[in-house]
Chains A and B, each alone.
Chain A
């Protein structure tokens, strides 16, 4: 009898393969992979027990030969099973961008099937893509100062199928499947590889960052020189000035940032 179907092994040589009749190393590695994939401990134990019995009955001396590479086999055993993490066939990508570039990149990568699920504690966009059935997504950003405004904005946009997908400070992000406007054409047949970048900074942001760094350096140098040449009695006035100036400067910068964000929204 010829073998009409072979397992999905790539090679008969492997560090966990060919480990003898019990396949101990193989099953230890398989159990580790199943746990890592989110399979509950009891299911891991019964799965390994069942496979151990299979191998014994088949009188096979090599678990690797029988089941294939443990990574591939484990993936096929958890396929479709729901877990805490992203399902098999789903990719997750966390990244961030400044407020001048966020919508551009969200829409760019939304067109590649990345769906934003929310913002993590670090303010990064947490995006997910289903490699089996990816759809295009589009995004928009709105401004709201409090929970009441957020609810009001969300209610207005819900009429056009926009769904809130996260907020950070006073920025609200909304997503919508492109199928809502493009129909079946929103489906993606081919996927671009997941980006390996996690940070996107616009030239506007870089310019402002340079200005801020330059201003900080000049202020610092002037402060040091003044204290150095005018004596220690200038230290206290400088500290008082810093305590007063810092919140004022911060508030002005905050308002200006918000003003720019609102204007950009209207543009």
Chain B
């Protein structure tokens, strides 16, 4: 039940989080998934992550490049575009504003909370 709720919350912000994972430089699917898990956001399945990467690429916010590897099947590396950086700044501000409103409302509902 708790996992379902977190999954539902994550849907609204996962695109933004994936963009944030690319601010330090290019990354690939599994590395992004690990970074999100390490940040405490839980395990993101490939079936959830790759459609997000596809959406970001289609929207021009990220660009992917497949590179063959000497060993193994190769990886698709993603990096932010300029449009992606701008979108990240704008949407982060919107999300943080929303987050503040949620936190304020929930805090006020706590016993002894302030509005």
Contact = CB atoms under 8 A, between A and B. Distances in A.
A66 B41 CA distance: 17
Given A79-B51, A81-B58, A50 B44 contact: no
Interface in B1-31: 2-3, 6-7, 10-11, 14, 28-30
Given A1-B37, A53-B74, A6 B45 contact: yes
A9 interface: yes
A67 B50 contact: yes
Q: Interface residues of A: mostly helix, strand, loop or mixed?
A: helix
Contacts, number: 111
Contact of B44 (A2, A5, A49): A5
Given A5-B14, A8-B48, A53-B30, A79 B55 contact: yes
Interface of A: 1-9, 46-47, 49-58, 65-68, 72-73, 76-81
B54 A67 contact: no
A74 to B, nearest CB: 10
Interface of B: 2-3, 6-7, 10-11, 14, 28-30, 33, 37, 40-48, 50-51, 54-55, 58-59, 66, 69, 72-76
B42 A1 contact: yes
Given A49-B66, A57-B30, A58-B30, A7 B45 contact: yes
B72 A56 contact: yes
B14 A53 contact: no
Given A4-B7, A79-B58, A9 B47 contact: yes
A76 B41 CA distance: 22
Contacts of A50: 28-29, 66, 73-76
Given A50-B76, A52-B73, A53-B75, A66 B58 contact: no
A51 B50 CA distance: 9
